[in-house]
Structure 1
Amino acid sequence: MTVNQRLTLGFGLLLGVILLISLFAWRSLEQSDAAMKTIYEDRTVPMGQLGDIRYLATRDRVILAEAAHSGDATQAAQRLEEFSKNRAQANTTWAAYMATYLTPEEAVLAKKHLAEMGAYVDQGLMATAEALRRADYDGARTLLDTKVSTLSPAAQDSLNALLDLQVRVAKETYDDASATNRSRLTLIIALGVASGVLATVMTLLITRRIGGQLGAEPHELAAIANRIASGDLTLQTALRAGPQGSVMNAMLSMRQTLNDLVHMVREGVDSVATASGQIAQGNVDLSARTEEQASSLQQTAASMEQLNTTIQSTAGNAQN
């Protein structure tokens, strides 16, 4: 596997872990946002709606009591007009509440409250309002003391049960979201630690592998290569052998090979110089011997000439 492939694999794994952590973090934030949204939309808003309904029910009882005890037709008319507006607002608010998400338990409580509040409003408040419209103030007071007082606690209790449920379910939703966030945070931390360990291991492995292949630091290799290129082969002490197959080891082998080659060339040059000297000395010796032989020949020729002269002289004497 090449260095580029190792680096790509290492950083690819690290990037994958980072993306996984990001995905978990994004998912955790999304779930937290959903939990906060449901707490607001399905619990906080309904809590406000139920609070408004409870306030309107209490307010209607108060204004009807004021109208019944005042005995004044004008004041009664004003209170009845406010009562009608309150009832319309209460019905609208209840419809909006029923449009929110209801848990199974909440649906049962809502059905119960609707029946009890319906009895409280129809048999108590509406009946009292009708008596006031007829100017039957005594009848209105009687209804307030009997029907309204009797039916109010059940309607209020069921309404309070719905309000308590909102608080309890909101807390449960928050606790579930917190537990999920804690577990995801633990997982994110674990993945972060794992990515750190993975990055450290990959860095050490890649560094060790590349360092093993180089056998030295890049700037050291560059300096040594430049020295060898300039003809400096005296690097035995400065050059340390790297692992087998490393660039440093190859440069050591190259330096040794070049050094051996230079020695071989130098020895060859010395041999040629020695042979040339020997040839020159042989030529000198040959020249000397040639001169000696030439001198001997001259002496021989002189002797022959002298002998010839002697012979001729002897022959002449013999003829005489």
Structure 2
Amino acid sequence: MTGFAQVPDDHRSGFACFVGRPNAGKSTLTNALIGSKIAITSSRPQTTRHAIRGIVHRPDAQLVVVDTPGLHKPRTLLGSRLNDLVRETWTEVDVIGFCVPADVPVGRGDEFIVNELRSVAARTPVIGIVTKTDLARPEQIVQRLTELSGLMDFAEVVPVSAVDGFQVGLVSDLLVARLPEGPPLYPGGELTDEPEETLVAELIREAALEGVRDELPHSIAVVVQEMIPREDRDDMLDVHATIYVERQSQKGIVIGKGGERLRAVGTAARRHIEALLGTRIYLDLHVTVAKDWQRDPRQLRKLGF
């Protein structure tokens, strides 16, 4: 079969997902495991809006990691739909990694998620993961491991830092050990099964998130209208995308004085998109208002939710 190498009889393959409250380090850990940037990251919570699948290729296994949005108390229809996406994902995977950050005490949000996880833990192993150990002192890490272990009976509990690589390989081993035996699910070399348009839109949204007010990230959505090769050049791709916000005042924030902010977004996004696609691109960005789109079922469908 094209793209599939000979694999050992005891080869394992399957799906894992990371869950946790917003900003628990799930996307950064996903990227570290994959070895490439396929999930966007931000210091602001509730950045992830799609269940992005990344593929880890090993001689003994193929691990498909599903990065999910942070489970949270929803305030909008979008928030409710993202929570539904998380719950749907963890019923379909072989193993779950529950993430808590080392630099923040375990709290009620973590307890809320664990209470929901109990319903699937009987049939799906759950590994407790303390993330962001590079941001915490040793005594904080010990405290977090103790707090995490007290929440439920995890199959394993492990500290990790996706930034400096501490025990990322161990996390991979622990997840793989709980996959069923079977052949690879994807050809070698593939890092994700997400459409390129989805990844490009996410990279643009990530760039737009940086440097804006705290309330704005939840109001930003991005749709790629088209990605077409430049007619007179074989090394250039024209990408046309629209950034949606909910209010006219937010449009001004994203564009900035004299368009300065939007140009900075385009420069940052273009660098990441070119790295992703392996080709030069011309990025054409427009900003438009879709009033209160997070609460409007019709507009949510239009924006891919």
* Pair in the same fold by TM > 0.5: no
Q: Calculate the TM-score normalised by the size of structure 1.
A: 0.18
Q: Calculate the TM-score normalised by the size of structure 2.
A: 0.19
Larger strand proportion of the pair: 2
Larger radius of gyration: 1
Larger helix proportion of the pair: 1
